[in-house]
């Protein structure tokens, strides 16, 4: 492939403006509050940046300052989009589904834009720096939020950063969402940030001291999200340690990977059952060999309801953007909570878009898996390190964390897909940009 910015010299202003807007979009991704609602959807700061980015990117393409490039992965995105269009046409509420469909064009435009505008290692480095700068600010908000919880419970910052306990027992500890709409999205974003940070350190794009400080801040922030998605952080750490240790320390490398996988599995198992025996539980489970009795947690109830709804409309689903489930559960605080989200990306897509949408999404993830392999770190090869880090980050945050949360509409994940596609194409881009 030729570089998307190889002709930037013809229209440098258009290319620079579009890239600056993309940098702004990346920086604003984690700042989701305050979020006004429009047509039932919450608008975040990055949405405004995208509205600026789109026309600037269009001008850059038209003036040939950037090149609109086709990638084989776009066939899978097209299949996913086609499934959503069919689901909209067959929807129980076509107008509502149509509004949701418009947001999907936005999300699926992100890989296309990134592949067009990011053509060199220098471009990628700037995007990584923008991402990590925003992550550092999130970590600072976490430090301030925890301090406010213990020192000034009436602080406006705490009211902004705190997340409700959900199905966790209320207590003298903070659960934070920080700049995000909810805690699970915070954890998902930080899981991606961890892989980006590790790759940046591998490539020398960040110094040892800033790396250590940012890593500590990110882990501190993630810990207070208190979500099952924390297993993804252990999985990421184990995977990267396995890569770095490699054949020189084979036993330690395998132990690191096994520990990460084991922690991830334990978090998955903890999603389904709870020791809180709520009155809304349709059944309980006695743990063999113990006196412990567990009840289905909100996620298990949501999964079961989603499976029933999927079976009722298996081909095209009930309609894009419609509620996947309708579950009522008594939470430890004593409140009766209502859940309309399946708490699982794949079940959400299956209920809304049927087998057509689910098959397209699974095919996309399988494609990323194949292109992320082989799992080997080259010596000093930026494209190799980025491909591994970004590909694994996408699989971890979308697939693994998607088992216990709904991230199919996460802006940062669709942008991440574009970064992964670009990283894999960096050698060709650099050749195309060379004089």
Taking the CA atoms of 373, 190, 264 and 285 in sequence, report the sign of the dihedral they define.
Answer: negative
pTM comes to: 0.94
Identify which of 46, 372, 4 has the alpha carbon closest to the alpha carbon of residue 185: 46
Res 345: pLDDT: 98
Residues 302-314, mean pLDDT to the nearest whole number: 97
Reduced to 3 states (helix: H, G, I; strand: E, B; else coil), residue 176 is strand
Is residue 1 over pLDDT 70? no
Residue corresponding to tokens 């909570």: 337
The Cβ-side half-sphere exposure at 183, using a 13 Å CA radius, reads 22
Is residue 72 over pLDDT 80? yes
Q: What is the pLDDT of residues 114-159, one digit of tens each?
A: 999 998 899 999 999 999 999 999 999 999 999 999 999 899 999 8
Token pair, residue 315, equals 């081909």
Residues 139 and 144: their CA atoms lie apart, in Å, by: 9
Is residue 294 over pLDDT 90? yes
Res 381: pLDDT: 64
Which sequence spans correspond to the domains of the chain? 8-275+336-433
Res 379: pLDDT: 61
Residues 107 and 109: their CA atoms lie apart, in Å, by: 5
Residues 346-365, mean pLDDT to the nearest whole number: 98
Q: Which of 172-176, 223-227, 381-385, 395-399 has the lowest mean pLDDT?
A: 381-385
Whether omega for the bond prior to residue 159 falls within 30 degrees of 0, making it cis, is no
Q: What is the pLDDT of residues 49-62, one digit of tens each?
A: 999 999 999 999 99
Residues 2-17, mean pLDDT to the nearest whole number: 59
Residues 29 and 126: their CA atoms lie apart, in Å, by: 15
The residue count for the chain: 435
Is residue 8 over pLDDT 70? no
């Amino acid at each position: 492939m030729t570089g998307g910015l190889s002709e930037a010299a013809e229209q440098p202003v258009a290319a620079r403006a579009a890239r600056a807007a993309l940098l702004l979009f990346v920086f604003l991704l984690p700042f989701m509050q305050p979020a006004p609602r429009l047509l039932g959807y919450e608008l975040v700061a990055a949405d405004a940046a995208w509205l600026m980015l789109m026309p600037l990117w269009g001008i850059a393409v038209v003036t040939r300052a950037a090149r609109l490039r086709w990638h084989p992965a776009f066939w899978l995105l097209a299949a996913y989009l086609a499934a959503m269009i069919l689901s909209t046409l067959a929807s129980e509420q076509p107008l509502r589904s149509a509004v949701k469909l418009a947001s999907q064009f936005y999300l699926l435009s992100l890989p296309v834009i990134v592949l067009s505008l990011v053509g060199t290692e220098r471009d990628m480095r700037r995007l990584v720096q923008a991402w990590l700068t925003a992550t550092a600010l999130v970590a600072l908000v976490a430090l301030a939020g925890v301090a406010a919880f213990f020192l000034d419970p009436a602080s406006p910052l705490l009211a902004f950063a705190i997340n409700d306990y959900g199905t966790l027992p209320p207590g003298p500890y903070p659960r934070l969402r920080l700049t995000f709409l909810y805690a699970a999205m915070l954890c998902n974003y930080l899981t991606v940030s961890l892989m980006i940070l590790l790759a940046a350190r591998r490539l020398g794009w960040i110094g040892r001291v800033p790396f250590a400080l940012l890593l500590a801040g990110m882990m501190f922030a993630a810990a207070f999200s208190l979500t099952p998605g924390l297993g993804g952080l252990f999985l990421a750490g184990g995977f990267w340690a396995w890569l770095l240790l490699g054949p020189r320390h084979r036993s330690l490398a395998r132990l690191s990977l096994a520990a990460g996988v084991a922690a991830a599995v334990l978090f998955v198992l903890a999603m389904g059952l709870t020791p809180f025996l709520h009155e809304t539980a349709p059944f309980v489970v006695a743990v063999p060999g113990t006196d412990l009795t567990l009840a289905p947690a909100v996620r298990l109830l949501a999964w079961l309801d989603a499976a029933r709804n999927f079976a009722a409309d298996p081909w095209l689903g009930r309609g894009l953007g419609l509620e996947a489930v309708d579950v009522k559960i008594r939470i430890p605080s004593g409140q009766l909570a209502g859940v309309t989200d399946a708490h699982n990306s794949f079940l959400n897509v299956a209920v809304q878009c049927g087998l057509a949408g689910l098959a397209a999404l699974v095919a996309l993830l399988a494609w990323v898996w194949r292109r992320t392999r082989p799992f080997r770190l080259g010596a000093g090869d930026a494209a190799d390190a980025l491909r591994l880090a970004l590909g694994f980050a996408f699989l971890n945050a979308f697939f693994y964390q998607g088992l216990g949360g709904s991230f199919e509409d996460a802006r940062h994940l669709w942008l991440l897909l574009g970064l992964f596609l670009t990283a894999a194409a960096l050698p060709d881009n650099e050749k195309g940009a060379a004089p």
